[in-house]
Amino acid sequence: MAWKTLDDMDLNGKRVLVRVDINVPIVDGVVTDSTRIRRIAPTVRDILAAGGRPILLAHFGRPGGERRENLSLNQLVPTLERAFETKVLFAADCVGTEAELAAELLQPGEVLLLENTRFHALETKNDPDLAAGMARLGDVYCNDAFSAAHRAHSSTEALARLLPACAGRLMQAELEALESALGQPERPVTAVVGGAKVSTKLELLSNLIEKVDYLVIGGGMANTFLVAKGMGVGKSLAERIMKDTAAEIIKKAEGLGCQIILPTDIVVAETFASHAPHQVLPADQCPEEGMILDAGPDSVARITEIFGQSKTVIWNGPLGAFELEPFDAATNAAALKAAAMTRAGQLTSVAGGGDTVAALNASGAAGDFSYISTAGGAFLEWMEGKTLPGVAALDQAG
Ligand code: 3PG
Ligand code: MG
């Protein structure tokens, strides 16, 4: 991969079309987590410092090609101004004469935000004509939206081929972190994969067993693996239909020298609720009426011991029902171990995915991780070994 960065581009006086991902959660018009906005600020600041005029292109939600006022990017202007510490102007469309004029009139030090690209149905079809309309607004294209790079859309893919193109600072940082965690990692490497379903993470598991030394499996998907090993899991979330697939993964991993770590003890309750009465049992003794909601203390001890031998940890998915106390215990304990080792300079730790980041934030561990990705789907697809269209387009672009 050889993409250009902002340092390779002549930005002085240029209109720089920056594809950002500011798809942030919003409740009653209030941004509840501005992480993605804060993380693009260095790109905007560097463009301004180089004399460039940043023009931001972004999607917001899934309006399905229709103008929907509740998904207007206009509502993010105040949050952007706070993050960039500069004036942010707004154009009510991402193509057309009004946007072109606003781009032309943009003054040094100002930022222009364009309306939601997905108000155009052609955006998600990677339409070249829509991309050409966007290209008229800029002299240079900068993609800083790693978290939307798994989408081949006009603003993430086709546009990159129409203008001199480069990666923004966040895109660079994301790619570098992933490369250090899975591309050329320091070994041993441990992957932690949790979440509800094996079926949604099959490709991920298959790719990881070829790349990592230890694969820790947690959450609902661990139950499917326990079933594959002939254990009963009572009323736990499990995809019994996937048990043969899980057994094949275990067998294949053995052949590849990848050790799969499953819970050896489990925290079992009869209801899926915070503080539901619960007990710790050996993994093969889940009662008929029981529901496995977390990994037990022996499992956590084994996971932290494996972290202790590792140089790199890559994490996607919680180990238990982390949204319900106290079933966040295994996730918290393992996360805090990874954080402490990272702080001590013993470990490179990279995590991504919406739930994962929420869980690591809740545990207080996130701040000490080497890198926390802003991406959900894109992080997962990268871990699956897939080519991300938004990144590939940068690579081919001049
Ligand atoms: C995200 O929030 O994961 C990205 O912005 C991509 O959004 P999408 O899943 O609607 O394409
Ligand atoms: Mg998504």
Among 146, 148, 116, residue whose Cα is nearest residue 134? 116
Quote the ligand 2 centre to 377 CA distance (angstroms). 5
Select which of 65, 96, 232, 377 is catalytic: 377
Pocket flag, ligand 1, residue 148 (CB < 6 Å): yes
In total, the chain counts a number of residues equal to: 398
Tokens of 19: 């594809």
Quickly tell me which residue has 């960039």 as its tokens.
Answer: 84
Best residue among 36, 59, 116 to mutate for probing ligand 1's pocket (most ligand atoms within 8 Å of CB) is 59
Select which of 15, 36, 211, 337 is catalytic: 36
pLDDT at position 1 is 62
**What is the residue with the minimal CA distance to atom 6 of ligand 1?**
148
Pocket flag, ligand 1, residue 155 (CB < 6 Å): no
- How much is the pTM? 0.92
Quote the ligand 2 centre to 269 CA distance (angstroms). 31
Pocket flag, ligand 1, residue 195 (CB < 6 Å): no
Pocket flag, ligand 1, residue 116 (CB < 6 Å): no
Any catalytic annotation for residue 136?
no
Among 74, 69, 71, 70, residue whose Cα is nearest residue 56? 74
Select which of 68, 82, 197, 235 is catalytic: 197
Ligand 1 atom, smallest distance to 354 CA:
3
pLDDT at position 140 is 98
Ligand 1 atom, smallest distance to 375 CA:
3
Quote the ligand 1 centre to 174 CA distance (angstroms). 16
Pocket flag, ligand 1, residue 355 (CB < 6 Å): no
Give a three-class secondary structure readout of the chain: CCCCEHHHCCCCCCEEEEECCCCCCEECCEECCCHHHHHHHHHHHHHHHCCCEEEEECCCCCCCCCCCHHHCHHHHHHHHHHHHCCCEEEECCCCCHHHHHHHHHCCCCCEEEECCHHHCCCHHHCCHHHHHHHHCCCCEEEECCHHHCCCCCCCCCHHHHCCCEEECHHHHHHHHHHHHHHHCCCCCEEEEECCCCCHHHHHHHHHHHHHCCEEEECHHHHHHHHHHCCCCCCCCCCCHHHHHHHHHHHHHHHHHCCEEECCCEEEEECCCCCCCCEEEEECCCCCCCCEEEEECHHHHHHHHHHHHHCCEEEEECCCCCCCCCCCCHHHHHHHHHHHHHHHCCCCEEEECCHHHHHHHHHHCCHHHCCEECCCCHHHHHHHCCCCCHHHHHHHHCC
Pocket flag, ligand 1, residue 19 (CB < 6 Å): no
Among 37, 62, 57, residue whose Cα is nearest residue 118? 62
pLDDT at position 328 is 96
**What is the residue with the minimal CA distance to atom 2 of ligand 1?**
23
Select which of 109, 354, 364, 367 is catalytic: 354
Tokens of 70: 């509740």
pLDDT at position 209 is 97
Per-residue pLDDT of the chain (398 residues), as tens digits, is 689 999 999 999 999 999 999 999 999 889 999 999 999 999 999 999 999 999 999 999 999 999 999 999 999 999 999 999 999 999 999 999 999 999 999 999 999 999 999 999 999 999 999 999 999 999 999 999 999 999 999 999 999 999 999 999 999 999 999 999 998 999 999 999 998 888 889 889 999 999 999 999 999 999 999 999 999 999 999 999 999 999 999 999 999 999 999 999 999 999 999 999 999 999 999 999 999 999 999 999 999 999 999 999 999 999 999 999 999 999 999 999 999 999 999 999 999 987 899 899 999 999 999 999 999 999 999 999 999 999 999 986 54
pLDDT at position 177 is 94
Any catalytic annotation for residue 38?
no
pLDDT at position 2 is 81
Any catalytic annotation for residue 197?
yes
Ligand 1 atom, smallest distance to 145 CA:
5
pLDDT at position 202 is 85
**What is the residue with the minimal CA distance to atom 4 of ligand 1?**
148
Quote the ligand 1 centre to 147 CA distance (angstroms). 7
